[in-house]
Amino acid sequence: MNVILTGGTGTLGSQIIYELLKLENLNTIFLPVRQKNGKSALSRIKTILESDAAPAFISENKKGILKKIKVLDMDTFFKPEDFLSKTETNFFIHSAGSVNLSTHKSQKEIIYKGVFEFTKEVFDTFSNYITKFTYISTAFSIGNIGGLIENDYHTKKSPNHRNFYEEYKHLTEKFLLQKGKEKNINIQILRPSVLGGNIFEKSTYFISNYMVYYLLGKFFYQNPLNENSIRIAANFNTGLNIIPVDYVAQVITKVFQTQIEQLNIVHSKSTPIISGMSKIIKTVGFHNFTFMNSSSGGLLLEGKNRLENIYYKTIGLHLNQYLISEPYEYDTTLLESIIPIPKYNIEDYLEATIRFAKSKNFKGEGW
């Protein structure tokens, strides 16, 4: 069995590499990687394999591990006839993609190309060489619908998207499910929620890049305007669903060879928004904040001070649409039958992940 994995240098992709390398029936992992900041594609992958977060078996058998990895530049990647055989079992896991929650019209085309068009190009290029195509989407591609959210996003409920990213993730899912039927290729849609730091093994709380809720902590961490107070709008009844990234990688590696078509990889409980945000902000040392119970947000808040103006023009502009969302929960029955969700206090975990990020000055690994 071969696996083609995009996004291998990403927050989730690097963890998927670790998990794939544990599989006994794995022949080769093909990893398309770009050069970055003067580092070659191969050196970026070697950095991941040499990380303190890497499982011990990798360092103990580095030569054998490297034999299972084939790093491809982007030109070579789009010529599958040069490295894949149609007679072999080839699984494709498409984990590449950056999160862009902007609602500004100038970003619409950029997000469309990065999410939908790139995936379409990848699928069209590899469709004659693969046994199955697994797409790593987002649990938020259904949008702001509230209530109980099940795994099927395409026959039961209509989406209510908050931004272009959600919209084009959902569109991409729809495209793949349709094309899979036309070409007789198995399609699988896996949807993680917000990624948090590791929960397993020696690298507890580790994550390679600090995004989403970490950005809230980073905003208030040593902010030169922290002498100001701030009013933050939120729906007091909603929550933030966070799932450890290493658990997500384990689930993906467990299910990509199964017949499961759609699966949300999420926590069974969301962290209450007010207590959760308070944990984040206080952990980085900021205390002069209050919350406003709002279903419309704070963008129109009158009399903003400098800190509030910057917050609502930057991070608040993107996070606001989630902080005021309808209360929701996920049906995790199927997920927990595959790998049980780890047992831990979700608020203590949130605080611990921020404390870990603070110890690293919110600087990622730079792979």
The stretch 218-222 carries a mean pLDDT of 94
pLDDT of residue 226: 86
Euclidean distance between CA atoms 252 and 136, whole angstroms: 9
Structure tokens at 227: 């002498």
Is the distance from CB of 243 to CB of 194 less than 8 angstroms? yes
Q: Which two tokens stand for residue 143?
A: 């949008």
pLDDT, mean of residues 201-219: 94
Mean pLDDT over 300-304 rounds to 83
**pLDDT exceeds 70 at position 184:** yes
According to the model, what pLDDT value does residue 187 have? 98
Mean pLDDT to the nearest integer, 79-89: 96
Cβ–Cβ < 8 Å for 261, 278: no
pLDDT mean over 90-113: 94
Mean pLDDT to the nearest integer, 276-293: 96
Q: Are 307 and 228 in contact (CB under 8 A)?
A: yes
Confidence at 348, pLDDT banded by 50, 70, 90? very high
Q: Which of 128-132, 298-302, 342-346 has the lowest mean pLDDT?
A: 298-302
Res 88: pLDDT: 96
Which pLDDT score, from 0 to 100, does residue 188 have? Answer: 98
Whether residue 254 is predicted with pLDDT greater than 70 in this model: the reply is: yes
The Cβ of residue 126 has, within 10 Å, a number of other Cβ atoms equal to: 19
Query: Going by CATH, does the domain composed of 2-195+242-265 fall within 3.40.50.720?
Result: yes
pLDDT digits (tens, 9 = 90+) for 148-183: 999 999 998 899 999 999 999 999 999 999 999 999
Domain boundaries, the chain: 2-195+242-265, 198-240+271-329+342-359
Which one-letter DSSP state was computed for residue 294?
-
Residue 2, both tokens = 């071969």
**How high is the pLDDT of residue 347?**
97
- What is the pLDDT at residue 242? 98
Q: What mean pLDDT is reported for the chain?
A: 95
The pLDDT assigned to 297 comes to: 67
- Give the mean pLDDT of 264-289: 97
What distances in angstroms separate CA 197 from CA 166, 207, 208, 237, one per listed residue? 23, 5, 8, 25
Residue 364: band (very low, low, confident or very high) from pLDDT cuts 50, 70, 90: very high
Confidence check: pLDDT of 98 > 90:
no
3-class secondary-structure state, position 293: strand
pLDDT at residue 85 above 80? yes
- Does 90 score more than 80 pLDDT? yes
Residue 295 has pLDDT above 90, yes or no: no
Using alpha carbons, list the distances in angstroms from residue 64 to 60, 67, 70, 314: 9, 5, 12, 46
| pLDDT in the model for residue 296 | 67
Kindly indicate the confidence band of residue 299, based on its pLDDT and cuts at 50, 70 and 90: low
